[in-house]
Amino acid sequence: MLRSTPSFKKLSFLFLAFCMIFLLAAPLQASAKPRDEPKKPGKLTLTELSYDVSENKGSVTITVDRIGGKDGVVTVNYCNCSFTAKAGEDFNHVSGTLVFGDGETRKTFTVPIVDDSKKEFLEAFNVYLKEPTGGATLGLFISFVTIWDNDK
């Protein structure tokens, strides 16, 4: 039989205190929130390297995808500029900002095409993405749009 000595009492007290602390703290540890996963805003990319459009089609729709993540709100600016086609004569200049909400992965914008009566060779202009925000990065950020003449 164990004797009740001061050191035994002290050891028993410490053991019980440790058990109580462990039992009280265990539920707190179980309910602790896991660390937040890093946000993945994604990469904004044009879906095509080049687009073809007939002059009499009226417009061309450009698609931008958000890949590799869809967390948070991100934006990207877009614009177009002349290559061999002339703004105002063959197509209309456009620029703006696409806003992707949390979870959104696809946006589009439209470039009007001018149907003239001149017989022309193939003409082209460029479409650009620039200045992403919200932690997003750019993938394919330039595409070429070829306008096919419909006049004979």
Amino acid 67: pLDDT: 97
Amino acid 100: pLDDT: 98
The percentage of the chain sitting over the pLDDT mark of 90, rounded to a whole number, equals 66
With 60 as the cut, is the pLDDT of residue 87 above it? yes
Query: What letter represents residue 145's amino acid?
Result: V
Query: What tokens appear for 99 in the block?
Result: 């806003």
Amino acid 103: pLDDT: 96
Amino acid 12: pLDDT: 54
Amino acid 113: pLDDT: 96
Closest CA to 41 of 71, 66, 65, 77: 71
Closest CA to 74 of 29, 117, 42: 42
Distance CA 75, CA 70 (A): 12
Closest CA to 48 of 131, 130, 127: 127
52 by DSSP, 3-state: which? strand
Amino acid 121: pLDDT: 83
